[in-house]
Structure 1
């Protein structure tokens, strides 16, 4: 099985809209007001154009996607790089694709390309497993936010990727 990590392009919008919409079913059920939960082709195209949207393909088919926000929407709460729109195709969940994509974007894009030592993301307290998943991945809660929009308590997480397992591997690979 071949895996390809790359930046998404406009030609990927239809497949990423389908993947994201299906992956965010639980988000819709929880009543969270996240734009990705209502992903359609125009919204995905906007995300691709305004941000750095990455995907992991397995045998030529997108199986996971993650966006590094570059349009400034997170500047009100953090100046650090901010991840959003993380999704794994529900048909292949549990196979590690999402985790490998996060690892790749942290190492190659945030640390390698942009030179940032830390990255942030946010998720809802009421999501049944995302908080624990991000904590297992080394993210630490740094802020609690209630935007009073019905989402309830949101956590902003930060991870120091320069001090993580990547820093030594990255230095060796780039030497």
Structure 2
């Protein structure tokens, strides 16, 4: 199965996938915007944000992921590519699609194409298993922020090139990473 870039032609399928995949989070009392996003908003997202997916043999979307870029109209929260909209059709749950799409996107797109030193993502700290899933893939928590009334967001980072991350031209991000112990060394006193 090949990872493919989604286009506006995939907007309806992607909207439906997001709604059904995020339904379980709604039942937990955690609202992610993707759970109720409109098809028009998804179309706009597809035009502005690299979004990828796995499809079955008949072209039905199985799993998806998007990567918000710092310089885009919908920028990432830090000066690094930010993973979002990780979703798998519940029919295919527990088959490793979420892990596979994250690992493939981080390696083939964020590291090899964008040449980024790291990638971030965020999830609800109240979610019973997402933080642990991301940590099992090498993401490390570095900041918690209350952005929504129903949940607190924990941000995680996956370092791909430590020396380039230490030299990134974003002092605020570096300070947060040193303070959290994600980056260590003489700059720890920033």
TM-score, length of structure 2 as denominator length: 0.78
Name the SS for the 1:113 alignment partner.
Answer: coil
Q: Structure 2 CA distance, aligned partners of 1:139 and 1:152?
A: 20
Find the counterpart in structure 2 of residue 20 from structure 1: 18
**Deviates further, 49-58 or 28-37:** 28-37
Find the counterpart in structure 1 of residue 30 from structure 2: 32
Find the counterpart in structure 2 of residue 155 from structure 1: 154
Q: Structure 2 CA distance, aligned partners of 1:91 and 1:57?
A: 13
| Alignment check: 8 A CA contact 1:31 1:150 kept | no
- Point out the structure with max Rg over C-alpha: 2
Q: Structure 2 CA distance, aligned partners of 1:63 and 1:33?
A: 22
Gap runs ≥5 in structure 1? 164-175
Gap runs ≥5 in structure 2? 163-190
**Deviates further, 38-47 or 131-140:** 38-47
- 1:128-174 CA distances to partner (integer Å, 9 max, x unpaired)? 11011111111100001012x313321010001347xxxxxxxxxxx
**Using CA pairs below 8 Å that are at least 6 residues apart, which structure has the higher relative contact order?**
1
Find the counterpart in structure 2 of residue 146 from structure 1: 146
1:1-175 matches, within 5 Å, as: 3-59=1-57, 60-70=59-69, 71=72, 73-75=74-76, 77-147=77-147, 149-162=148-161
Q: Structure 1 CA distance, aligned partners of 2:150 and 2:65?
A: 21
| Alignment check: 8 A CA contact 2:22 2:32 kept | no
Q: Which runs of 4+ in 1 moved over 4 A?
A: 72-75
Name the SS for the 1:32 alignment partner.
Answer: coil
TM-score, length of structure 1 as denominator length: 0.84
